[in-house]
Structures are given as C-alpha cells and as structure tokens.
Amino acid sequence: MTDEFEQKAGQAGAGTRDGVGQADAGTQDSVGQADPQAAKKTKMKALMLFQEAASVAVNEDLSPEMVEKINESNYSGLNLDSHLGVKYVAAGPKLVSVRLEVGDEHLQPWGVTHGGVYAALGESVGSVASYIAAGAGPAVMGTSNHTDFLRPSKKGDVIVTTATPEHIGRTTQLWRIEHRNEVTGKLVALTHLKTAVIADSKPNF
C-alpha cells in the first residue's frame, strides 16, 4: 500500500509547492496562467498523502514520520490549514492534535487572536479526527460548530488544539476540541463539532 501511494505520488508531483509556498514551474503555462492539469495532479498528490496517513491512523497512533505526511498533504494541496499555518503533531484513532503560532495575520484589530481562528482550527482538526474515526473511507462534513472563547491569546503565543470524541456513531459524531496555550496550559477556547458521515461518497478531485 505504501509503495503504491509513493509511486503514484511521485507521478503526480508536478505542480507542487515548496516549503515556503512558492509555486514551481509545473503549475503555470507559457503565458503565466494556472495549468488546470498541473493543479489537478497537485491535489491528487495531496489526497494520496493524506489518505495514506489517515488509513494508518484508523488503527494506531501515527509515527512522527506519518504525521508529516498530513502536513505535506496540506501544504501541497493549498487548503485553509496551509494558509493559517497549521502543523499537525499527533493523529490516531481517537485523538488529533495541531499547533499554531499566532501571527499578525491571525489577529483582530485589538491585537488578540480572532475568534474565527479557533473556529477554523476546531473545524479542521475535528473533521480530520472524524474522518479517521469513520474508517478513512466515506467523507465527513461538519453540521454544527460551537466555539466558546475563554481567554485571549496574542502574537507569538502557540495554540495547541486537540480533538477527542464525545460520541462516535454510524452516521453522526460529536467531538470536543480544546484550544490551549502551549506555555501556560490554560484553555483559551473550546469547540464542540458535530459531523455527519456521508456514505458512498468520494473526494471531489
């Protein structure tokens, strides 16, 4: 399974981005326009990397090397996590955790972290956890996201967001997602995310 994924990922490698988010030559045509085929290959590579890691996480906690495959899939796929700067640090059957260093781009006008950052973190982490818990096959979608903001955080703080299950059913799941200051350990926000498991669904790539 791993060799097959790596072979396919290598074939789909044209059009990926490097570690600082710069597009390589494979993503644009001769007049500087985005190449749809290269973009499709990039998304497919990201999907395969994520699927490989998620499939393992169904049954066991991921090794650091496997967790990095999730990070690589995020940054090659150019999704919301990559724009926010999210880094996955742990994933397994009943826990997913990420880190985010708060920067200027995460702040609201009064200099503290925008509440939408916590809501987005909760949605991302809870959705990945839900997908793994559902067997890494059918798609999952958030149906409600309730996030309470308890304490402020500021530029330079590191937020650790961790999802654990409160209910895992056949068609619905409920996840408790804690957002904590890495240094103080204090809870700064709390998300409850409800998801629906969409049977017989496939990723839209």
- Tell me which residues are annotated as active site: 123
Burial of 57 (0-12, 13-18, 19+ CB in 10 A): buried
| Separation of alpha carbons 198 and 111, rounded Å | 39
Tokens of 13: 């490698």
What strands lie across the sheet with 87-92, from one edge to the other? 87-92, 95-101, 158-168, 172-181, 187-198, 139-149
In order of 39, 78, 82, 197, 202, the CA distances from 66 in angstroms are: 24, 19, 18, 24, 23
Amino acid letter, residue 53: A
Output the CA–CA distances (angstroms, integers) from residue 169 to 60, 123, 134, in the order listed: 19, 18, 9
Question: How many helices, marked H, and strands, marked E, lie in the chain?
Answer: 5, 6
Q: Identify the CA nearest to 129 among candidates 191, 65, 46.
A: 191
